[in-house]
Structure 1
C-alpha cells in the first residue's frame, strides 16, 4: 500500500467540504501488470500550499506532521494511523481513505445524561440548542486506549470525536480489517504542551507494559531517522523528552487546568 501511495498516479476527484485546510479526495492508480488493470485506491491529499496559517504551529508544516504521525504509528507497531506518505511531486501528504462501517459501533458518541453503560467514559456535558443535555463519551476498548496513548505521545492538539473512524480501506485484494483509525493528525508534535483530546477516559491510569515499551523506544531516539524528513530537530527532541516524562510518571496524564483540554468543536 505504501508503494502504491508513493508512486501511483493521482487523480483529484474533488475538494472535500468542511475541511479547514485544502483537502482533496483522490484516486490513486498503480501501473498495469501484464495487460491487467492496476490497483486503484481512494486517498486524501492535503497540500502544503493549501494550509491555513495557525498561531501555534509553524506555517507550511501540517502536512509533514500528518506523515510524521503515521511514521510514529508504523514504526512502533501501533497501526492507528492509515498509511500516509509525503508526495513531493504534489507538495503534500497522501493518506489512504478509510471507508467507515455503518454497522460498527462508533468510538465516540453523544448519549443522554445519566445511566451510561460501563463501557463508555463520559468526557463532557453539553446543552443542545433546544435546551436538552447530552454527554460526550468514548468507548473503553483496547483500540481506543491505543489511540489515546498515541495522542499523548505525539501531543495531538486536535483529537475530535470525528477524527476516529471505524472502518477499513479498500484495495484490489478486497477490504482490509475493520478497526478504529485516527485521522487528521496534523496538529501534533508541538514543542510546548498542547494536548487537546476527547479521549480523557484513561486519565491517571497506569501505563501498560506495552505502552512503556512504546514510550521507551521513543525516548531513546529510535524514531529520529524516520521523523527527520518531516519534523525539526527541536520537535524530535521534545518528542523524546515527552516519552521519557511519560515513563517517569508511569501514568496517563490528567487534563490540564491552565488551558483548554478538549478541542472545539469536540466532534
Structure 2
C-alpha cells in the first residue's frame, strides 16, 4: 500500500485505512455537484483525525445499467483491485455503517491544486497516469473524467469515483486513450499476472472482497478482462458501439 502522508492529513495510507474502519464519522457538509449523495466528513478516534468522503447507499441514484444499491460496493471493489495491482491508485476505502446507514467511506485526498488537470490528462510519459489507464481497463470504468484525477504535492496520482465500474459488458469510457493499441509495460503485465493469480485463489483477500460486493458474473467478467489484457499485451481500443469518452469529460 502507498504510504504517502501529504494527501491524508499527515496519516499514512495504512493508518488511514484503520481509522476509516474504526473512527467516528461526523458529517461536515455535502458535495452538491455529485449526482449521488456525497458527504464531506471527518473521521476520528482521538488523537487521530482525517477528512473523508462518505457515500451512503441510501443516497444512490438508480441507474438503468447497474443494480440498485451496489455503487458503494463497487468503490470498495475498485480499492481492492488497486491494492492487488500494487499501484495505490484508489485512496483507502471501506464499506461500513455511517450516520445515514451503510455506505462507502474513503479518505479525502488533499490534491495539488497547482496542477493543470487537463494538461495532465493528455500526458503520454506519465507512468502513474498510464497505470491508471490499465486499472480502468481492468475494472471496466465507465466514467474516468479529468476531474477524477487527484495528483498530490508529493507526486503521487490518485483517482476517485469508481462506482460505475465492473459491468459485465464492455463499458470503458475514459479520457485516457493516448496509449490505445500500444504495448503494455512489463510492470503492468507483472501486476496483471499477480491479480490473475489472486482471482484464481478463492481464499485471497481480493476474492473475498469481490465476492461480497460483486455478482458472480461480474467477477467472472473481471477475470476475463485480465486474461485478455495479458494475452494481447496491449492497451485496449475504444468500443465501436459505445461512447468512448464520458460526458462531460471534466
Identify the TM-score tier after normalising by the shorter chain: 0.7 to 0.9
User: Rg: which structure is higher?
Assistant: 1
> Size of the alignment, in residue pairs?
226
CA distance in 1, matches of 2:155, 2:236: 29
Structure-to-structure mapping, 1:118-197, within 5 angstroms: 138-140=122-124, 141-167=126-152, 177-197=154-174
CA shift for structure 1 position 219: 2.8
Q: Helix, strand or coil for the counterpart of 2:248? A: coil
**CA distance in 1: counterparts of 2:53 and 2:81, whole angstroms:** 19
Take 1:214 and 1:190, find their aligned partners in 2: how far apart are those partners? 21
Q: CA deviation at 1:101?
A: 1.3
Where is the helix percentage greater, Structure 1 or Structure 2? 2
The structure with more strand, counted as a fraction of residues: 1
Which residue number in structure 2 is paired with residue 266 of structure 1? Answer: 249
1:65–1:189 Cα contact (<8 Å) kept = yes
Residue 47 in 1 paired to residue 56 in 2?
yes
Deviation at 1:76, TM superposition (A): 2.1
Q: Distance in 1 between matches of 2:53 and 2:212?
A: 20
Shift of 1:54: 0.7
Secondary structure of the equivalent of 1:11? strand
Are 1:218 and 1:239, in contact at CA under 8 Å, matched by a contact in 2? no
Q: For 2:40 and 2:139, how far apart are their aligned partners in 1?
A: 26
| 1:238 and 2:221 correspond | yes
The answer to whether 1:2 aligns with 2:17 is yes
- Tell me the equivalent position of 2:30: 15
Q: Is the contact made by 1:106 and 1:166 (CA closer than 8 Å) also made in structure 2?
A: no
Mapped to 1, the partners of 2:91 and 2:229 lie a distance apart of 25
Q: CA deviation at 1:107?
A: 4.1
Q: Deviations for 1:30-85, whole angstroms, at most 9, x for unmatched residues?
A: 1x3xxxxx111000000111000111111100011001100111122110111101
Q: Give the gaps of 5 or more residues in structure 2.
A: 1-15
Q: Measure the CA separation in 2 of the matches of 1:101 and 1:82.
A: 15
Tell me how far 1:9 sits from its aligned partner: 0.4
Indicate whether 1:91 and 2:75 are aligned. Answer: no
Q: Distance in 2 between matches of 1:240 and 1:69?
A: 14
1:107–1:162: structure 2 CA closer, same or farther, 3 Å change rule? same
CA distance in structure 1 between the aligned counterparts of 2:79 and 2:116, rounded to whole angstroms? 22
Distance in 1 separating the partners of 2:84 and 2:242: 31
The alpha carbon displacement at 1:257 in A equals 1.5
Alpha-carbon contact 2:184-2:234 (below 8 Å) kept? yes
Following the alignment from structure 1 to structure 2, what is the Cα–Cα distance between the partners of residues 79 and 184?
A: 15
Structure 1 runs, 4 residues or longer, greater than 4 Å off = none
Gaps of 5+ in 1: 33-37, 110-119, 121-136, 169-176
Alpha-carbon RMSD: 1.5
Cα offset, 1:226, TM superposition: 2.9
